[in-house]
Amino acid sequence: MSADQYDFGMIGLGTMGRNLLLNMADHSVKGAGYDKDGDKARLLEQEAKGATVKGFTDLPAFIHGLRQPRAIMMLVPAGRIVDEVIAELQPLLSKGDILIDGGNSYFKDTERRVAALETQGLHFFGMGISGGEEGARRGPSMMPGGDKEAYRVMQPILEAIAAKVDGKPCVTYIGPGAAGHFVKMVHNGIEYGLMQLIAETYAFMKQGLGMDNEAIGAVFTSWNRGRLQSFLLEITADIFRYKEKDATHLLLDDIKDEAKAKGTGKWTSQIAMDLETPIPTIDAAVSMRDLSKYKALRIELSETYPHDAAPISGNKETLLTQLEQAFYGSMVTAYTQGLHLLAKGSAAFQYELDLAAIARIWRGGCIIRSAFLNDIYQAFTINKELPILLADAAIARQLTEVLPGWREILSRAIAAGLPMPAYAASLSYFDSIGSRNMPTNLIQAQRDYFGAHTYEKTGKEGVFHTQWTQV
């Protein structure tokens, strides 16, 4: 094809970049892809099957082949590589061109890049993309933020390729600056929390109730038909059915119990602490991934403190009903913490986030999509000023109903020596956030005792300090 015939350019032809271009081709968008790896460029053209898509390994030729103003997305690893790609692109771009970072970049890096590229007349925005390989190919959830003018130019393409729920695309303008990447970071934090909760649920059934893999898979399948329906439960049920060719056992049983991470969960915990916003379920999930990496130490300590979780006795059907209730309560708590952090971040960074709109676009094509997001969408649609998700009356009724089962499961697990840190963090958060009085008055007294940090009194204005010992 001759120059200036491609509508959109993609830098990085890994699974996500390639599938997004193919998704665009399905919607009559002529796409060009660039990658230094010639095999990836050729694979793009092979999978395009005659659609107007071309792979490039020459960067100037790739840039020259795009219509002006150019629209280019980067899907490369977060961090230094993004800056290197931008530096390579800048001499080849013209004022008015649009550059999109579709990777999992840290939102403060995105803020810096927005400011730097704006001075050069380039339209830049960061966009979170959720849905993995299948979502990219068939319809992801997308969270674009930053340059609103650039988003409006891209809006028809993004709405065409996005997942659809109730006929509406799962993409919307999120807010200025790095709002898109901030929301995606928190999305990933919620994802961490939900995945840890599912893993602990698996442990309760396997170690506590002595259930085999087939029975555990059946429970996840059953739950996925009810109020717990979600993408993560759906894929978990699939995992409990998968065997390699000629194998007599699940592949799951061959996988090491050492979890990897790319840092987005850690970023969520770090910024939550900066904003003084508690997200203990997410924090526990991040910590447990880190703890899992200490395999040798865990083995050594298991010999020093030998114990296996004691069997949990009782009516299995009753316990599974209570486990479903405990999972529901913990799941609600994980979403609550994430949305509270979004609200606090929105105020701190002036993002003006619309929580109802965010819940709406997370309902389809998204890793954390779930039936419960409809409840979240309704809650924030009814009351945009809702201070926290737990304050919604309909959700409060559900949590009140599951609370006894939630407590029972945690008490049984602790008594049996079965660790469920994300469940425990969720219930403690729930109890604390709804507590009229906390024991932190003692902490304030201690701080004043050893450091003269002062304290305030109930029912009396002013700041006070006490000499706690007689001189």
pLDDT tens per residue across span 84-124: 999 999 999 999 999 999 999 999 999 999 989 988 999 99
Question: Do 272 and 231 share a domain, yes or no?
Answer: yes
Do 448 and 405 have their domain in common? no
Query: What count of other Cβ atoms lies within 10 Å of the Cβ of residue 342?
Result: 25
Note whether 366 and 415 are same-domain residues: yes
Burial bucket for residue 355 (CB in 10 Å: 0-12, 13-18, 19+): buried
**Are 172 and 232 found together in one domain?**
no
Q: Is 191 a catalytic residue?
A: yes
- The Cβ-side half-sphere exposure at 412, using a 13 Å CA radius, reads 25
Residue 395 shares a structural domain with residue 446: no
Give how far Cα 68 sits from Cα of 57, 72, 99, 155, 430, Å: 20, 11, 12, 17, 53
From 129, 160, 177, the end of a domain falls on 177
Pairwise CA distance, residues 216 & 461, whole Å: 57
Q: Are residues 254 and 341 in the same domain?
A: yes
Q: Pick the closest to residue 380 from 432, 335, 420 (CA basis).
A: 335
Instruction: Decide if pLDDT at 471 tops 70.
Output: no
What percent of the chain shows pLDDT beyond 90?
A: 89
- Per the structure, how many domains does the chain have? 3
184 is catalytic: yes
Closest CA relative to residue 4, chosen from 62, 48, 53, 44: 62
Choice among 111, 191, 200, 324 that is catalytic: 191
Q: Mean pLDDT score of the chain, rounded to an integer? A: 94
- What's the pLDDT tens digit per position in 230-281? 999 999 999 999 999 999 999 999 999 999 887 889 999 999 999 999 999 9
Query: At how many degrees (to 10) do helices 280-292 and 421-433 cross?
Result: 160
Do 152 and 23 reside in the same domain of the chain?
yes
- Over residues 286-345, the pLDDT tens digits come to 999 999 999 999 999 999 998 888 899 999 999 999 999 999 999 999 999 999 999 999
On whether residue 2 sits in a domain, the answer given is no
Q: What is the pLDDT of residues 49-62, one digit of tens each?
A: 877 889 999 999 99
Q: Which of these three, 128, 148, 177, is where a domain ends?
A: 177
With a cut of 50, say whether residue 3 has pLDDT above it: no
Position 3 in a domain: no
| CATH number reported for the structural domain that contains residue 311 in this entry | 1.10.1040.10
Task: Give the residue numbers spanning the domain of 26.
Answer: 8-177
Catalytic pick among 30, 54, 184, 266:
184
In the numeric block, which tokens belong to residue 36? 């230094």
Q: What is the three-class DSSP state of 101?
A: strand
Alpha-carbon distance 373 to 387, whole Å? 17
| 171-215 pLDDT tens trace | 999 999 999 999 999 999 999 999 999 999 999 999 999 999 999
List Cβ neighbours of 415 (8 Å cut-off, separation of 6 or more).
Answer: 310
Cα–Cα separations (whole angstroms), residue 385 to 31, 226, 237, 363: 42, 29, 37, 21
Q: Give a yes or no: residue 98 inside a domain.
A: yes
User: What string of DSSP letters covers 336-352?
Assistant: HHHHHHHHHHHHHHT--
Answer whether residue 158 is part of any domain. yes
What amino acid is encoded at 213 in this protein? N
The helix (H) or strand (E) run that includes residue 87 is helix 80-89
Same domain, yes or no, for 63 and 157?
A: yes
Of the residues 177, 205, 236, which one is the last residue of a structural domain?
177
List beta partners, residue 66.
6
Asked whether residue 320 is assigned to any structural domain, the reply reads yes
Whether residue 329 contacts residue 195, with contact meaning beta carbons closer than 8 Å, is answered with no
Tell me, yes or no, whether 144 and 203 share the same domain.
no
Report residue 1's pLDDT band, with 50, 70 and 90 as the boundaries. Answer: very low
Q: Provide the CATH number for the domain around residue 122.
A: 3.40.50.720
Cα–Cα dist 211/10, whole Å: 47
Tell me what pLDDT residue 2 has. 47
User: For residue 449, what is the domain's CATH number?
Assistant: 1.20.5.320
